[in-house]
Chain A
Amino acid sequence: MHITEILFWILTALALFSALMVVSSDNPVHSVLWLILVFMAITGHYILMNAQFLAIVNMIVYAGAIMVLFLFVIMFMNLNKDSEPQKSVWLRLAAVVSGGSLLLILVAALKDNGGYINSMKGEGSIGLIKNLGNTLFTEYVVPFEISSILFLSAMVGAVVLGKKESSTPAA
């Protein structure tokens, strides 16, 4: 068994176990920490698939910025195990059954795929920032600029939504 396959299985097990813990842990802070672990496993998968730039961006943006934002909001609201609302057992069972059925159907529909991924020597430079940046700033420069407008509007929206309105009565 090659080292790549061993790493693949370790990262897959880590990602799936952590994802299950995200869903099943009662404390929201623990959920966030498990989700960071999921993102780290996904970053490892990106490195295995020679997507180095995406691995770094995933690490910085997801595991860094976004998860800190989640953690900040959860701690800001002082959520813990005692304040965590729970659904009834039957609803949860129904949810697991429907999610499992979806997984079963998707796997059955997509399992006949003959593609493969192997790593050849000297191959794997498309994930580097040189190639990606070249394409991003020539072919995809318009979507790039539009995404900057998206960020600006998201920033304005977040400020407008988060602003305390003194005139509005508490609902």
Chain B
Amino acid sequence: MPIIPVNYYIFLSLALFAIGIVGVLTRRNAIIIFMCIELMLNAVNILLVAFSKMHHVAAYALDKTTTVGTEAQLFVFFIMVVAAAEVTVGLAIIVMLYRNIHSVDINFLNRLKH
């Protein structure tokens, strides 16, 4: 039986999350920053599914009819639902910004500072 330590999934998820953070910090294009936020959301989803699987495997060894781990997968489902709603509103905001300042460069978005 193949055994994968849950550590590997934790490290994968953390690496994806850190790459997303680096993307948010390095880029100036608002759409790319938004995409990096999606990347971070997906890193968290991987982690939730991995933990769901880990607990299910542990419970399945004792009881063959267990449904432990269902909640985490539903949680991921709700995260996807919220992410889809968030993307529509976020992209609408970016389109509105583009219409007003004719750019998606976040360095032009500092008027609230003054």
Size of B's binding interface in residues, CB under 8 A: 84
Known: A132-B74, A154-B85. A107 touches B42 (CB 8 A): no
Contact A23 B14 (CB under 8 A): no
A22-B32, A117-B54, A158-B91 are known; give 18 further A-B pairs, CB within 8 A. Answer: A5-B2, A15-B16, A22-B36, A23-B27, A31-B35, A32-B35, A46-B49, A69-B91, A73-B91, A99-B21, A102-B21, A106-B18, A120-B60, A126-B67, A132-B77, A136-B77, A154-B88, A162-B96
Q: How far is the CB of B24 from chain A (nearest CB, A)?
A: 8
Interface residues on A, range: 35 or more
Chain A 20-33 interface 0/1 with B at a Cβ cutoff of 8 Å (1 = within) = 10110000100110
Q: List 5 A-B contacts (CB under 8 A).
A: A19-B39, A54-B76, A69-B88, A85-B28, A120-B1
Return chain B residues, CB-CB under 8 Å to A49: 49-50, 52-53
A42 CA to B41 CA in the complex, in Å? 12
Q: How far is the CB of B64 from chain A (nearest CB, A)?
A: 8
A33 CA to B65 CA in the complex, in Å? 41
Return chain A residues, CB-CB under 8 Å to B45: 42, 54, 58
5 closest residue pairs by CB, A with B? A95-B25, A99-B22, A2-B2, A103-B18, A154-B85
Q: How far is the CB of B28 from chain A (nearest CB, A)?
A: 4
Which of B29, B53, B60, B92 lies at the interface centre, i.e. has the most chain A CB atoms within 10 A of its CB?
B53
Which residues of A come within 8 Å of B, CB atoms? 2-5, 8, 12, 15-16, 19-20, 22-23, 28, 31-32, 35, 38-39, 42, 45-46, 49-51, 53-54, 57-58, 61-62, 65-66, 69-70, 73-74, 76-77, 79, 84-87, 91-92, 94-96, 98-100, 102-103, 106-107, 110-111, 113, 115-120, 122-123, 126-127, 131-132, 135-136, 140, 143, 147, 150-151, 153-155, 157-159, 161-162, 164, 170-171
